[in-house]
Chain A
Amino acid sequence: EAQVTQNPRYLITVTGKKLTVTCSQNMNHEYMSWYRQDPGLGLRQIYYSMNVEVTDKGDVPEGYKVSRKEKRNFPLILESPSPNQTSLYFCASSLGSLRPSEQFFGPGTRLTVL
């Protein structure tokens, strides 16, 4: 089954404790992206990657890191989480250059930073 998976689905952590949210897709998609969803703000892009070893900032990259060492994986890293990073996070992927941004979304990761 074609899908985007994220882990964990739920995470409660404390300020300053490094964490990683994993994202994996099995569709051989070139383009992957991370969004955060906050009430009244819709989804905002954090980082994106157009292919292996190619990443770039989205609209709200502060406090986040990403890497793209393999085509299927695109982990989101919070080196020192803060309470304002409490949010619902979505990973997404698409074919990239072949389709106009028809993105497939993962189920989401709800992060709470205390």
Chain B
Amino acid sequence: GDSVTQMEGPVTLSEEAFLTINCTYTATGYPSLFWYVQYPGEGLQLLLKATKADDKGSNKGFEATYRKETTSFHLEKGSVQVSDSAVYFCALSADGNGGTSYGKLTFGQGTILTVHP
């Protein structure tokens, strides 16, 4: 079945440091890939997405590129801020492959990011 693996956390950085959170996936066909962010006490919000190979999703200074050859979708940000402290989830959806997986998101385990001033 489909699966998503994220790097182990927690990740602790100083403000303005470079961030990478690794994400790899296993899926049949051509899934859509997503990063969701969960701020303390809140629900998940879509951060960025990519729907086909070599697409780059970007938002709020975060970027991730859909790499089909390495089945990866690593999240990066050049300079993190204290306000970026949150839990980050990589996810995939097998939309387009039909069947009962339609619309379902498969999540990684989440990576806790803490940014210190």
- Interface-side segment among B13-21, B68-76, B78-86, B89-97: B89-97
Residues of chain A from 9 to 64 with CB closer than 8 A to chain B in the complex? 31, 33, 35, 40-45, 48, 50, 56, 58
Q: Are A107 and B42 in contact (CB under 8 A)?
A: yes
> Which range holds the interface residue count of chain B?
20 to 34
For chain A, the count of residues having a C-beta within 8 Å of the partner chain is: 27
Nearest-neighbour CB distance to chain A for B115, whole angstroms, equals: 21
Chain A, interface SS category: strand
- Taking A90-B43, A107-B43 as contacts, is the C-beta distance between A45 and B110 under 8 angstroms? no
Max chain A CB contacts within 10 Å: which of B95, B104, B109?
Answer: B104
Report which B residues bind A (CB closer than 8 A): 4, 32, 34, 36, 42-46, 49, 51, 89, 93, 95-96, 100, 102-105, 107-110
Report which A residues bind B (CB closer than 8 A): 4, 31, 33, 35, 40-45, 48, 50, 56, 58, 90, 92, 94, 96, 100-108
